[in-house]
Amino acid sequence: MNCRNKIALFWCCSLFSVIRLDYLVRSWLDSPLERYNWGFLLLFLAMLGVARLNGFKSNEPLSAEALTAAVPSAVLCCGGLIVNINAAVIAGGIMLWWSSAWLLGGWRTGWRFLPAFTVLLLVIPGVGYRIGALFGLDPWGAKLPVAAAALIWQFTVWRWRWIVGPEFLLFCLAGGGAVAGYWCGGVSWRSYPEVRPDFSGVSAPEYFGREIDPDAADRRFFAGSTVRRYYFAAPDGEGIDVLDVAGIADVHQIHPAGYCLRSGGFGVETDDLAEIRLSGRVFQVNSLTASGRGRRILVWAWYERPGVSTGSFMRFRRGGDADGWRSILLSTAIDGHEGKAAAEKRLADFAARIAGALKTDNKD
């Protein structure tokens, strides 16, 4: 295969990386955390130019070793399509594209292109949030050092022709697998009883509430879903905000509560799974404390469908789609004097009053 045909085939393989292009564009338009990710795309193209596409040689045979990267990448991409996880589809597609450089140009070409493709992985929505969660950083504080490291890597490859063997890739894959295994080991996959919240059952004088019309951003982002917002005044004078999304039209409308808070300009201080006991029954919530906009808040979020509830976003996403699921988020202020304990007591009392499952049990 001559050099020109190899370059043409390399660019054809770029189609693997745009299988979920619509999802990428929506994230740039709708999410403050992903709004400038297109900058990584421009940086990738510049780095690819420095790496020089003319590195493909007409007389160089195809490298079968590239299958060690291509096969796992294809499995990741296809698996993401099956379970409807866009990040996996995009990551697998990008790595398949990079594998084509290795296949067509040999390991030296694959190595020369690898820093650029590392930067391209940063366009994936949520990747900064996930890296930041591992190291206690905000999303951009996680993505920018990775981009800077890739630039230094590219410079050393370009300036001093630094290269390592393909064994480096296997080492990285093993290390990545170990990190993924460690992370998955800390994920809760357990299911809890359904809470079945009913906000119409909370009445004055203990809780005075009203429904708030969703704003234009809510209607656009949750298009096709049933989204309701409520505000309740608690007996101690503090407020409780409620976001209730049911009939979810697209599972990708729902994100981890920590991601949403960061998108809204809040700094997340703690992000944990907590078990709460309501009338003798145990439920799980994603409990977060966050500060921003001049206040500090406590947030409880969970997901449920008939017979099941969970505070774990990963448990919610394990099914692949949003069929029958509902997402509920409660938030209240953390008073400077009474602190987090008072806020937890307030949300626990409120949750017990809205839990339709508890009311049904009591009737039985």
pLDDT by residue (tens digit) across 291-318? 988 889 999 999 998 888 999 998 888 7
Whether 326 is covered by a domain: the verdict is: yes
Mean pLDDT over 131-159 rounds to 89
250 and 135 fall within a common domain: no
Return phi, psi of residue 285, to 5°: -130, 155
Whether 192 is covered by a domain: the verdict is: no
Please report which confidence band the pLDDT of residue 363 belongs to, taking 50, 70 and 90 as the band edges. very low
213 and 307 fall within a common domain: yes
Total domains in the chain come to: 2
58 and 18 fall within a common domain: yes
67 and 120 fall within a common domain: yes
- Domain enclosing residue 231, as ranges: 199-363
163 and 219 fall within a common domain: no
Cβ atoms of 52 and 46 closer than 8 Å: no
Whether 193 is covered by a domain: the verdict is: no
- Residue 204 confidence (pLDDT) above 60: no
Q: Which of 14-28, 74-88, 184-198, 239-253 has the least mean pLDDT?
A: 184-198
Whether 233 is covered by a domain: the verdict is: yes
Q: Which of 26-35, 94-103, 179-188, 262-271 has the least mean pLDDT?
A: 179-188
363 or 165: which leads in pLDDT: 165
Whether 32 is covered by a domain: the verdict is: yes
Question: Alpha-carbon distance 53 to 139, whole Å?
Answer: 32
321 and 217 fall within a common domain: yes
Mean pLDDT over 48-58 rounds to 74
> Of 129, 158, 185, which residue sits at a domain end?
185
Mean pLDDT over 249-277 rounds to 89
152 and 252 fall within a common domain: no
- Residue 130 confidence (pLDDT) above 90: no
Give the number of other CB atoms < 10 A from CB of residue 125.
23
Helix, strand, coil share (%) of the chain residues, nearest 5: 55, 20, 25
251 and 318 fall within a common domain: yes
136 and 244 fall within a common domain: no
67 and 116 fall within a common domain: yes
242 and 160 fall within a common domain: no
The pLDDT score that the predictor gives to residue 319 is 67
217 and 179 fall within a common domain: no
> Of 134, 158, 185, which residue sits at a domain end?
185
- Residue 55 confidence (pLDDT) above 70: no
Residues 66-86: pLDDT tens digits?
Answer: 888 899 899 999 999 988 889
Smallest CA-to-CA distance from 266 within 138, 132, 145, 143 is with 138
